[in-house]
């Protein structure tokens, strides 16, 4: 079982709202809370965002502790908002 104290604040909030069944193993199913975190900077060429804005990928989108997508901050914010509706 994952220790809640070692998680980022966004991950901890998602875990408390959506539960921890399969945390870090299965993500993206209905009922999993989406959240975002800053992507770690890596040396070398930075990949561009898929949304067409031309900026670098700076954030990643996660659900249930599993990274599902990465892109610019605005694209990931939209992805999180879309997934947490309803």
Q: What is the pLDDT of residues 22-68, one digit of tens each?
A: 888 888 888 889 999 999 988 888 899 999 999 999 999 999 989 99
Mean per-residue pLDDT, 73-77: 96
Q: Which of 83, 64, 53 is nearest to 15 (CA)?
A: 64
Considering Cα of 25, then 58, then 71, then 82, what sign does the dihedral take? positive
| Residue 57 · residue 17 · CB < 8 Å | no
Q: What pTM value is reported for the model?
A: 0.85
Give the C-alpha separation, 9 to 4, whole Å. Answer: 9
Burial of 10 (C-beta count, 10 Å sphere; 0-12/13-18/19+): middle
């Amino acid at each position: 079982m994952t220790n809640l104290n070692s998680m980022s604040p966004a991950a901890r909030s998602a875990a408390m709202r959506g539960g921890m069944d399969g945390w870090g193993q299965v993500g993206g199913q209905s009922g999993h809370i989406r959240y975002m975190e800053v992507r770690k900077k890596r040396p070398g060429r930075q990949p561009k965002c898929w949304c067409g804005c031309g900026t670098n990928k700076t954030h990643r989108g996660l659900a249930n502790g599993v990274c599902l997508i990465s892109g610019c901050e605005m694209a990931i914010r939209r992805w999180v908002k879309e997934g947490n509706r309803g």
